[in-house]
Structure 1
């Protein structure tokens, strides 16, 4: 449904992005921010899903700052490799690529950053630091609590799982306490519950989270 396009960040870095467009006039635009597994088949499917729901969707390949076309699956070896890649891309550089992606679809209307896992944390930082977006949605972002003292400049929505082994509920409660203005939803699910390629996939939670996200972004 979509296609790979080329973008350039403000520092001159050239990178790829997957872009999917709706059949009719767009309701807005969404920047889909990857997990630690690259712009793989799941992230492309997420983009396609938002395009079917009426949004222009674009997913910047954040790992292109290491090398092009890094895509991983969800096996233990993939997780370890993804973690290594993630540590090689700074938040600042990732935000430059997210910013470029947002600007590339700015004519779609309101732009929302929607991120998963690592991307969930970057979605929160996007809300705090980027002027090119209007809203942000984070799914199970492990570093959100770490950055919660930084105030978002645009509306934010957050999704977490109550059995997420990598994000303790104490961190979620900290987010709620320090940012009571941010809607925080907690599901009976684990990390990665939105991804139907993972063993932790929870269809009911993914469906409800998507419904809430679509309502939030309008």
Structure 2
């Protein structure tokens, strides 16, 4: 049975954030709000938790394309190879925001991601997600939770999410209704930027 806790985005309660962080540190899986759709996540440093997420998503862990939710861009070099100034300026302009940037992976990635040439970086404009990452001290992974419904691609109601995922995860955060549009994904790992998925984020800032 997953815990179900309400956290308000305008002013996340530190005690509730602490509960979430404890779950993550113990290898638990959480469902949490972002500035787009609700995400399924765990601590990127916990291999067993990562394997659980991969199993749920029916992918091999080494082949999984999970995004890293970061608090800001200050520790980017831990996960990403050095990027040029113009790319960094674009990231600074767009983040926090509803974008996922695919960047060349660094040699210092956690061991389970060592073979990955690229990594998706997210800094969502959502205080709940950012506070969790800040208190944890390193990123969490993010993968969107899709719906089986043919019309609605993503579930937006936290209570319905809790009902559906109750036996699969350890904690579900009710951060209010989510969006039903995923992030815009832009690949900056090659010479020319490539739009992989057009989502919530406007492309005009590029």
Same fold, TM-score > 0.5, yes or no: no
Which structure ranks higher in relative contact order (CA pairs < 8 Å, sequence separation ≥ 6)? Answer: 2
* TM-score normalized with structure 2 length: 0.32
Q: Please, what TM-score do these two structures have when normalized by structure 1?
A: 0.31
Higher-helix-fraction structure: 1
